[in-house]
């Protein structure tokens, strides 16, 4: 593998790790259920970029794209279901604060 591809790869990995850190921070520190979902979305985008990068580096561009396509479909369905759960959580507690969801302890 040529050194400039290696260099590019290294920068991509660094940025992907930084996006991961941002997503995890968003999930941990947010007080709003929809923000937790946004943090999850950011993590999924980072993983999508990582898969495409893996496909580019290893030459398997077609397989990586097929994986990403299926992944995007799964992501949509999960976000719709999560939206439904947040909707009902709001109906019960009149707020979307995850601290209020700490009824179940232990």
CA distance 62 to 82: 30
Q: Does 103 bind another protein (CB under 8 A)?
A: yes
Residue 59 interacts with another protein (CB under 8 A)? yes
Q: How far is the CB of 75 from another protein (least distance, A)?
A: 8
Is residue 56 part of the contact set for another protein (CB under 8 A)? yes
Q: How far is the CB of 8 from another protein (least distance, A)?
A: 6
SS (H, E, C) 12-54: HHHHHHHHHHHHHHHHHHCCCHHHHHHHHHHHHHHHHHHHHHH
Q: How far apart are CA 73 and CA 79, in angstroms?
A: 10
Per-residue binding letters, 75-94, with another protein (x by CB under 8 A):
xxxxxxxxxxxxxxxxxxxx
Q: Name residues contacting another protein, limited to 5-24 (CB under 8 A).
A: 6-15, 17-19, 21-23
In the complex, minimum distance from the CB of residue 56 to another protein, in angstroms, rounded to a whole number: 4
Q: Which residues of 91-101 are buried (b: 16+ CB within 10 A; e: fewer)?
A: eeeeebeeeee
The C-alpha atoms of residue 52 and residue 64 are separated, in whole angstroms, by 6
Q: Total number of residues binding another protein (CB under 8 A)?
A: 91
- Chain residues 26-55 in contact with another protein, contact rule CB under 8 A: 26-27, 29, 31-45, 47-55
């Amino acid at each position: 593998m040529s050194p400039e591809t290696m260099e590019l790869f290294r920068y991509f990995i660094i940025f992907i790790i930084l996006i991961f850190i941002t997503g995890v921070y968003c999930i941990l520190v947010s007080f709003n259920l929809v923000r937790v979902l946004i943090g999850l979305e950011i993590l999924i985008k980072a993983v999508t970029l990582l898969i495409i990068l893996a496909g580019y580096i290893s030459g398997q561009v077609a397989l990586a794209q097929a994986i990403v396509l299926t992944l995007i479909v799964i992501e949509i369905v999960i976000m719709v279901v999560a939206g439904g759960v947040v909707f009902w959580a709001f109906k019960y507690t009149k707020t979307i604060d995850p601290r209020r969801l700490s009824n179940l302890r232990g």
